[in-house]
Structure 1
Amino acid sequence: MTAATQEYATQGRNPGWLRRSEAWLDQRGKFAWIVAMVLGFILFWPIGLSILGYMIWSNRMFGTACRKNRQFTRQTARYSHGFSAMRSSGNAAFDAYKEDTLRRLEDEQKNFEEFLQRLRDARDKAEFDQFMNDRADKARNVREDAAQDA
Structure 2
Amino acid sequence: MDRMMTTTKSCMIKPAWTPATIGLMVLGFVVFWPLGLAMLAYILWGDRFECMARDAKEQWRGSPLKGAFDQMSSTTGYARTGNVAFDDYREREIKRLEEERAKLDAMRADFDDFLRELRRARDLEEFDRFMANRGRTNGGSEAAPS
Report the TM-score range of the alignment, normalised by the length of the smaller protein: 0.5 to 0.7
Aligned pair 1:102/2:62, yes or no? no
Compared CA separation, residues 69 and 99, structure 1 to 2 (3 A)? closer
| Structure 1 unmatched ranges of 5 or more | 1-42
> CA shift at 1:110, angstroms?
0.4
Pick aligned residue for 1:71 from 38, 62, 68: 62
Counterpart for residue 28 of structure 1: none
What's the offset of the Cα at 1:115?
Answer: 1.8
- TM-fit CA distance, 1:145: 1.7
- Give the number of aligned pairs: 100
- The share of aligned pairs that are identical, in percent, is 15
- Any gaps of 5 or more consecutive residues in structure 2? 11-46
Give the superposition deviation at 1:137. Answer: 0.6
TM-score (norm 2): 0.53
User: Does the C-alpha gap of structure 1 residues 133 and 92 become closer, same or farther in structure 2, counting only changes over 3 Å?
Assistant: same
CA RMSD of aligned residues (A): 3.2
User: Partner of 2:137 in structure 1?
Assistant: 145
Specify whether residues 84 and 140 from structure 1 end up closer, same or farther in structure 2 by C-alpha distance, changes over 3 A only: closer
Shift of 1:86: 5.4
Task: Give, as a single letter, the amino acid of the residue that structure 2 aligns with 1:114.
Answer: A
Q: 2:8 aligns with which of 33, 48, 51?
A: 48
